[in-house]
Amino acid sequence: MSNHMTPPLPPYGPPVPPQPRKNPAVVTALVAGAAAVVAAAVAVAVTLGVTSDDEAKAAPTVTVTETVGEGAAPAADEEEAAEPAAEASEDGVYALGDTVTYDSDIEVGLSGFERAVSTDTAMPENAPHVRFTVKIKNGGGETLDATALTVNCSYGKDGHSSEAVFDSAAGLNGGPDTKLLAGRSINVPWGCELPKGEKLVQIEVAPDFDSETAIFTGEVE
């Protein structure tokens, strides 16, 4: 009987060699590439679509409508007709009912024409004349010296000089004796001689010393 004994087996199997680690950058790139391919395929499918006849169908066209903002010009049919400014004739003469606007934003206009006869206490007394209102509006930024208002009249085709009528009983006291602040206006009653047989009048108005004279003309009934 032999005494040779087989050595006992080790409790565990032979050691397993370590596995090589995968490069994380390579794995990320592969995943990203696959995602890009899937996204591109989905985009193509959504954009084109497939008809029942397996033909590619074009994507719908989007129409953009431009909306007119507040700063844009309105359409021609939406524009309101602007009130026309007073237009002078070729020789710079205005109609009796016009309003003249100076570069200084001072406005001058005449209105309320009517015939009258002055009282016996007026200068001149018992004189037929035309009565009207001179309206001055100071649209500028500085005070206007309204005491410098001048009004000169004439009548007839031959241009006869017309004397101003001062009649305190009728409220004809000449020009104002105050200054006109910016943004304010004033109405000044005025009278000029006008014989009963005359209709054509010419009225020259200057609101102050710095403004040019505006010439108004027309017939008074």
Residue 14 — very low, low, confident or very high, per pLDDT cuts 50/70/90?
Answer: low
Q: What DSSP letter does each residue of 63-107 carry, written as one string?
A: PPPPPP-TTSPPPGGGPPPPPPPP---TTSEEETT-EEE-TTSEE
Give tens-digit pLDDT for 101-119.
999 999 999 999 999 999 9
Q: Write out pLDDT tens, residues 120-153.
A: 999 999 999 999 999 999 999 999 999 999 999 9
| CA–CA distance, 104 with 159 (Å, rounded to integer) | 30
* pLDDT band with cut points at 50, 70 and 90 for residue 61: very low
- Output Rg (C-alpha) for the chain, integer angstroms: 49
The answer to whether the beta carbons of residues 211 and 106 sit under 8 Å apart is yes
